[in-house]
Structure 1
């Protein structure tokens, strides 16, 4: 292998994380809205037709694919062990969006759970310089 740096055509990490969070949050909201079309769909054929006839579900799939593209791009330049915990940001954005856009309510116990998850993310994903000087 060569020690030469590899030119990457990736996106700015902040933009990538923003796109990932926005697209993943939107996909969850749209899939939830699209799931309303599944009421009464018995059997896989009727279910598939109901999903394919739901603009919200289709838009949710598109957003899910966009989040996949952002994720795969971010992984190219990140350690999985540091990047994956960052996806827990959706534990905040999805509930907040659900309150604002879907009229859902979330009790204090769930918010405490979200806070615990966020605290864990901070501990797990910490600063990359924490590992400097440690043996592999």
Structure 2
């Protein structure tokens, strides 16, 4: 049991979990917002979206991602954690493409590749930094 506990409290694992929760929340918010009926004059508020179960599940994922993020910040320097958390800028478009059938243009694919490259640049020295933690 202690091995499972250590694995689940590994800050790097929690950072990945946080990115997954953020990605899930964004996709579910899109689904919920798309399925919400429109009320003239109140559309801009988004209040009608609160009637969607998808929105409430997304809110739960937002809360879980926040809890994970606080845990990550307790264990990983912000100057490392924040750039690595930008993996959501890759995961969200990919999830929308896979689950929602959204189109990703060639330009966006290039942008996603640049983000992946940036994350790799930031992640590269992590082994050295982890020794200091």
TM class by smaller structure: 0.7 to 0.9
C-alpha distance in 2 between matches for 1:19 and 1:98? 18
Distance 1:84 1:47 in 2: 29
Structure 1: runs of 5+ lacking an equivalent: 1-9
How big is the shift at 1:38?
5.7
CA RMSD, Structure 1 to Structure 2 (Å): 2.4
Larger relative helix fraction:
2
SS in 1 for 2:20: helix
Give the TM-score taking structure 2 as reference length: 0.79
> CA distance change for structure 1 residues 41 and 87 in 2, over 3 Å: closer, same or farther?
farther
Say whether residues 1:42 and 2:36 are aligned partners: no
TM-score of the pair, normalised by structure 1: 0.77
CA distance in structure 2 between the partners assigned to 1:18 and 1:124 by the alignment: 15
Among candidates 10, 16, 24, match of residue 14 of structure 2: 16
5+ residue gaps, structure 2, are: 1-7
Please state if 1:77 is matched with 2:75.
Answer: yes
Question: Which residue is 1:62 aligned to?
Answer: 60
Residues 98 and 104 in structure 1, CA contact (< 8 A), matched pair in contact too? yes
Q: Against the structure 1 CA distance between its residues 116 and 61, is the aligned structure 2 distance closer, same or farther, given a 3 Å change threshold?
A: same
Task: Give the equivalent residue in structure 1 for 2:102.
Answer: 104
Deviation at 1:15, TM superposition (A): 2.6
Which structure has the larger Rg over C-alpha atoms?
1
Aligned residues: 121
Say if 1:51 and 1:58, in contact at 8 Å, map to a contact too. Answer: no
Aligned-pair CA distance for 1:51 = 2.4
Residues 124 and 83 of structure 1: CA distance in aligned 2, closer, same or farther (over 3 Å)? same
Residue of 91, 113, 116 corresponding to 1:115: 113
